[in-house]
Amino acid sequence: LSRSPKKLPTDFYSKASSSKTKRLVDVCQMFFLDYYCDMFDYVISRRERTREVAMMLKDQPNEQEVASAWQGYFQKESYALRKRRLKPRTKDFE
Amino acid sequence: NSNNVVTDFNYTPTHQLPFIKPAASTQVTSHRDLKKIVETTLNSESVLEQAVKLPKGEDLNEWIAVHCVDFYNHVNMLYGTITEFCSPTSCPKMIATNEYEYLWNLYPGKPPVSVSAPKYVECLMQWCQNFFDDENIFPVKENVPFPPQFVGRYCRQILKRLFRVYAHIYCHHFNEIFEMNLQILLNTSFRHFCLFTRNFGLLTDEDYGPLLELVNDLTSK
């Protein structure tokens, strides 16, 4: 009752302790740590940059200039995001 | 204790950063330490909810495209750890519970056929990769626009199929994942996937099929 039986393949432990599986598990852990550190860092710093642009443009009286400044900024950010998609990723481990 | 600060996550870098990146004084000697730091962050409510939101001024296509590639990499990594346990013998069909089987269109022009789970995943990953490599679909250069109906024609299909790998892992390999202590990564990645697809209405309840209840649990507060 305390522990429901787990359906594990009979040779689970020998496979799980093989160096190949261990390596894949390590790579997976490193990948996700890296990914989430990097992703949060990106989201946070991007918000910070947007806030800075907003601050800078706050007292700018010329509406057209403000609009084009925002547009230029958004374009730059968008391309930076595109490059993140293209950067070589850890996908050739198998 | 600084852990208590995490509950209100509003992306002000100054007080969040310690939980995301080790502070200069934190000695990270193994990735176990690092893991703890990220886990602290990921376990706090609403962190991922906020992270999936479209940044101010961003093109929706661009945001979804990046996430398609990200989730493709997540699935690749997670499935990679169970390749030893998911073989044509153990999983002769690509199923999720006994109610759902996913077929692959192995012979173009003919109806899709039943294939083993590893074969399905192999075909799926190659199929995604072909889209990502096609600059007419996933543009590479600056200011090159996405094709018309980019999300509906490509992204939705990609995400819908990537979901099936999560479903297969949850329904048929969760014990292995758990024994290898990867359940936090799997849950985080899957919850992230669900929050993202729900936030932009990319998948229907039908697409979530065998995991609909779990998806609802993970995406509600």
pLDDT of residue B23: 33
pLDDT of residue B13: 28
Contact indicator for B2, B12 with CB cutoff of 8 Å = no
Sort B180 into a burial class: Cβ within 10 Å, 0-12 / 13-18 / 19+: buried
* Half-sphere CA count of B122, side-chain side, radius 13 A: 11
CB contact under 8 A, B55 and A20: no
pLDDT of residue B171: 87
Is B35 in CB contact (< 8 Å) with chain A?
Answer: yes
Q: Which residue of B has its CA nearest to A91?
A: B73
Question: Of B77, B92, B90, B82, which is closest to residue B179 (Cα–Cα)?
Answer: B82
pLDDT > 90? residue A91: no
Contacts of B113 (CB under 8 A, 6+ apart): B103, B104, B105, B106, B107
Q: Which residues of B touch A12 (CB under 8 A)?
A: 85, 176, 179
Reported as a single tens digit per residue, the pLDDT across B142-175 is 989 999 999 999 999 999 999 999 999 988 888 8
Q: Write out the two tokens for B148.
A: 């018309």
H helix or E strand, kind and range, residue B100: strand B100-101
Q: Are strands B100-101 and B95-96 parallel, antiparallel or unpaired?
A: antiparallel
φ, ψ for residue B113 (rounded to 5)? -120, 165
The complex's ipTM works out to: 0.85
**Confidence grade of residue B27 (pLDDT, cut at 50, 70, 90):** very low
pLDDT of residue B164: 97
Q: Which residues of A touch B188 (CB under 8 A)?
A: 32, 36
Reported as a single tens digit per residue, the pLDDT across A15-73 is 878 888 999 999 999 999 889 888 888 988 899 999 999 999 988 889 899 999 999 99
Secondary structure class of B27 (helix, strand, coil): coil
pLDDT > 70? residue B22: no
pLDDT of residue B16: 28
Q: Which residues of A touch B71 (CB under 8 A)?
A: none
Cα dist from A8 to B26, B85, B89, B176, whole Å = 38, 9, 15, 7
Measure A63 CA to nearest chain B CA, in Å. 17
pLDDT of residue B50: 85
Find tokens 């192995």 and name the residue: B106
Q: Which residues of A touch B76 (CB under 8 A)?
A: 91, 94
Q: H helices within chain B, ranges in order?
A: 13-20, 31-43, 47-51, 60-81, 117-133, 150, 156-172, 174-179, 183-199, 212-219
Is B62 in CB contact (< 8 Å) with chain A?
Answer: yes
